[in-house]
Amino acid sequence: MLTDKLKSFHIILASGSPRRQQFFKELGIDFEIRLKEIEEVFPIELKAAEITNYLAELKASAFENQLQPNDILITSDTIVWHQGQCLGKPKDDADAFQMLQSLSDATHEVITSVCFKTVAKTETFFAITKVTFQTLSNQEIRYYLDNYKPFDKAGSYAIQEWIGAIGISKIEGSYTNVVGMPMHLVYEKLKTFIA
């Protein structure tokens, strides 16, 4: 079991996301939350998973020369990729409303990259999930924004909230990836990373 293999390692999750923290609790492994403020800016020429790979690695680089030999640092980043555009966290209410209007009656991609870093090596991987929304009325979008305030979420929505229940008609790929981290990949990669 993974928990036995990890006994000699110290897992550091560098994420303030309650959803990612909950996933790690559910894995049943001990971990520490350690946060650093990072300005999440990426080169404009990057596309899709190049963006999330870059940002996950940028977050990991903030811990350079601060890791112990038995530490495994885990960082990640999620974006919504739609019509050739990166939809991150909305700037304000109007931006969130516009994002959800653009996602209505369309399919987009949720991309999450995860970076594992130790003193000796760094490994980054990503998952892509396709999510299809049925048509959302302006009233439904307004209700969701007013009641759930998803302003800290890429694409201005959380699949596990009301809008996911009433609006998402199809999902292709990992559900946990849309919530914030592709846990099936994290689990498998951790097994090989420490082998």
Q: Tens digit of pLDDT for each residue in 37-87? A: 999 899 999 999 999 999 999 999 999 999 999 999 999 999 999 999 999
The class (CATH top level) of 2-193 is alpha beta
Q: Are 112 and 76 in contact (CB under 8 A)?
A: yes
Question: What is the DSSP secondary-structure string of 68-108?
Answer: -TTEEEEEEEEEEEETTEEE-S-SSHHHHHHHHHHHTTEEE
DSSP 8-class letter at 153: S
Residues serving a catalytic function are 77
Q: Where are the domains of the chain?
A: 2-193
Q: Tens digit of pLDDT for each residue in 102-112? A: 999 999 999 99
Give me the half-sphere count of Cα atoms (radius 13 Å) on the Cβ side of residue 109: 16
